[in-house]
């Protein structure tokens, strides 16, 4: 009897190891898409691609923007895998795994979908400062945001 239980446990172990991944994907459905700090124009950061939306090149590491596609969260220079999502009230704490040629690391992001379709990113799960993000769609890349100049680009270089 013990041998049967051991064999059953060995067969269920691989399933249990990957159980959080589909759950993480289901919980991030509302978060899918391109997200940008509310004060910036979508067309200045994102560009249309064959598969949807991507970051404009050359990449700028300091742009407050990210794209969530499936189980991946991408910034302009890095892509992280969403390993786990813990829902606490209106906030979703994402556990992210990032692997580069140099190192492998874990990071966390605390996000809260807003009723107006926006998103808040918090510094802590129970409080802290919130940064407001807006979702950018393909239609936002061909028109300028209200109050923005069409040719405005984000530059962190020296002033002319």
- Rounded mean pLDDT of 71-86? 93
Whether the full predicted model's pTM is greater than 0.85, yes or no, is no
Residue 149 lies in a domain: no
Specify the DSSP element, H or E, that contains 142: helix 138-142
User: What are the helix and strand counts (H, E) for the chain?
Assistant: 3, 10
Within 10 A of 160 (CB to CB), how many other CB atoms are there?
Answer: 4
138: Cα within 13 Å, side-chain hemisphere? 6
Q: What does the pLDDT look like over 31-67, one tens digit per residue?
A: 999 999 988 999 999 999 998 999 999 989 899 999 9
**104 upstream amide cis, omega within 30 of 0:** no
- Unique residue bearing structure tokens 């994907």: 25
For residue 19, name the pLDDT band (cuts at 50, 70, 90).
very low
Cα separations in angstroms, 119 against 34, 76, 107, 110: 11, 19, 19, 10
In the chain, % of residues over pLDDT 90: 54
Q: What does the pLDDT look like over 97-106, one tens digit per residue?
A: 998 778 889 9
Q: Which domain holds residue 49?
A: 19-139
Hey, is 16 helix, strand or coil?
A: helix
pLDDT given at position 109 = 94
d(CA 66, CA 142) in angstroms, rounded, equals 19
Residue 159 lies in a domain: no
How many domains are there within the chain? 1
When the pLDDT of each residue in the chain is averaged and rounded to a whole number, the result is: 78
Residue 119 lies in a domain: yes
- Rounded mean pLDDT of 111-140? 91
Residue 33 lies in a domain: yes
pLDDT given at position 86 = 93
Hey, is 31 helix, strand or coil?
A: helix
Residue 3 lies in a domain: no
């Amino acid at each position: 009897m013990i041998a049967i239980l051991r064999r059953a446990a060995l067969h269920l172990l691989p399933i249990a190891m990957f159980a959080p991944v589909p759950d993480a994907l289901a919980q991030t459905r509302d978060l899918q898409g391109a997200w940008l700090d509310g004060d910036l124009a979508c067309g200045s950061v994102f560009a249309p691609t064959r598969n949807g939306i991507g970051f404009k090149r050359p990449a700028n590491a300091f742009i407050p923007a990210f794209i969530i596609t499936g189980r991946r969260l991408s910034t302009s220079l890095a892509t992280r895998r969403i390993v786990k999502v813990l829902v606490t009230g209106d906030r979703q704490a994402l556990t992210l795994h990032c692997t580069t040629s140099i190192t492998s690391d874990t990071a966390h992001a605390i996000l809260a979908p807003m009723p107006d379709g926006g998103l808040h990113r918090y510094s802590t799960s129970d409080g802290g400062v919130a940064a407001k993000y807006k979702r950018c769609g393909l239609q936002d890349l061909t028109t300028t945001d209200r109050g923005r100049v069409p040719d405005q680009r984000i530059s962190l270089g020296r002033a002319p």
